[in-house]
Chain A
Amino acid sequence: MATQTKPQSATDRSTAFKWSMVIDLDRCTGCEACVVACQSENNVPINEESAFIEGRAFEWIRLERYWEGEWPDIKARFIPVLCQHCENAPCEPVCPVYATYHNNEGLNVQVYNRCVGTRYCGANCPYHARQFNFWEPVWPEDLRHQLNPDVTVRTRGVMEKCSMCIQRIRRATRSKTPSDIPDGAFNPACVQACPTSAMTFGNLNNPESKVSKLQNDERRYHMFEHLGTAPTTLYLKQVDTHGA
Chain B
Amino acid sequence: MYYRRTLTEAQINQQLLGTVLTTPLWWIVLVSLLGIVVAGAVGAVGWMINQGLGVTGLRQPVFWGFFITNFIFWVGISHAGVMISAILRLSQAEWRRPMVRAAETMTVFALMASLAMPLVHAGRPWRIFYWVFPYDWARGIWPDVRSPLVWDPIAITTYLTSSMLFVYTALIPDLAIIRDRSTGWRRSVYGALSLGWHGNPRQWKIQGFAGILLSALILPVFVSVHSIVSWDFSVSLVPSWHVTIFAPYFVIGAVHSGVSAVVTLMIIMRKLYKLENFIWEEHIDALARLLMVVALAWMFLFWLDLVFALWLREEQEITVWMLRMFEPPWSWLFFLFFMFSFVIPVPLWMFRRVRRSFTWMLWTSLLVNFGMFLERFLIIVPALMRKGPQTFTYATYRPSPVEFTIIFGTIALVCFLLLIFSKFFPLIPLWEEKEGQLLIDHVKVGNVYVPALVKEH
Q: Across the interface, do A156 and B123 meet the contact criterion of CB distance under 8 Å?
A: yes
| B149 sits at the interface (CB 8 A) | yes
B384: interface (CB < 8 Å)? yes
Instruction: Enumerate chain A residues within 8 angstroms of B392, measured Cβ to Cβ.
Output: 64-66
Complex Cα distance, B53 from A96, in Å, reads 19
Task: Report the nearest B residue to A126, measured CB to CB.
Answer: B388
Chain A residues within an 8 Å CB radius of B135: 97
B118-161 Cβ-contact flags toward A at 8 Å (1 or 0): 10011111011011000100000101101111100000000000
CB-CB < 8 A to A114: which residues of B? 130, 141
Q: Number of A-B pairs whose CB atoms are under 8 Å?
A: 135
Distance of A130 Cα from B123 Cα, bound (Å): 14
Interchain CA distance A122-B53 in the complex, whole Å: 15
A139 close to B (CB within 8 Å): no
B393 interfacial by beta-carbon distance below 8 Å: yes
Task: Pick from B123, B141, B235: contact of A94, CB below 8 A.
Answer: B235
Asked if B388 contacts A128 (CB within 8 A), the reply is yes
Q: Which of A104-126 contact B (CB under 8 A)?
A: 114-120, 122-124, 126
Interface range for A: 35 or more
Q: In the assembled complex, which residues on chain A have CB atoms less than 8 Å from the CB atom of B58?
A: 119, 134
Q: What's the Cα separation between A127 and B236 when bound, in Å?
A: 13
Q: Are A158 and B124 in contact (CB under 8 A)?
A: yes
Contact flag A94-B147 (CB < 8 Å), given A56-B59, A118-B122, A127-B388: yes
Query: Contact: A116 with B124, CB < 8 Å?
Result: yes
With an 8 A cutoff between CB atoms, is A218 at the interface? no
Bits for B41-70, please: 1 = Cβ < 8 Å to A, else 0.
Answer: 000000000011110101111011000000
**Per a CB cutoff under 8 Å, which of A117, A124, A127, A130 touches B390?**
A127
> Beyond A123-B63, A134-B52, is A116–B127 a contact (Cβ under 8 Å)?
yes
- Interface residues of A, dominant DSSP: loop
Provide the residues of chain B in CB contact with A130, threshold 8 Å.
60
With A56-B59, A90-B236 already in contact, the answer to whether A159 and B144 are too (CB < 8 A) is no
Interface assignment of B344: CB less than 8 Å from any CB of chain A: no
Q: Output the least CB separation between A209 and chain B (Å).
A: 29
Q: Is the CB of A93 within 8 A of B144?
A: yes
Contact (Cβ within 8 A) B147 A120: yes
Determine the chain B residues whose CB is within 8 A of the CB of A118 once the complex forms: 118, 121-123, 131, 149
B296 at the interface (CB under 8 A from A): no
- Find chain B residues with CB under 8 A from A90 CB: 236-237
Q: Mark A151-169, 1 if CB is under 8 A from B, else 0.
A: 0000111110000000000
Cα separation A227 to B147 with both chains bound (whole Å):
19
Residues of B within 8 A of A132 (CB): 53, 60, 63, 123
When C-beta atoms are compared, the residue in chain A nearest to B314 turns out to be A226
**Complex alpha-carbon distance, A157 and B125, angstroms:** 9
Interface residues in B217-249 (C-beta closer than 8 Å to A): 232, 235-238
Give residues in B with beta carbon < 8 Å to A.
51-54, 56, 58-61, 63-64, 118, 121-125, 127-128, 130-131, 135, 141, 143-144, 146-150, 232, 235-238, 384, 387-393, 395
Known: A55-B60, A116-B127. 11 other contacts (CB 8 A): A55-B59, A114-B130, A114-B141, A116-B125, A117-B124, A118-B131, A122-B61, A123-B384, A128-B393, A131-B60, A135-B52
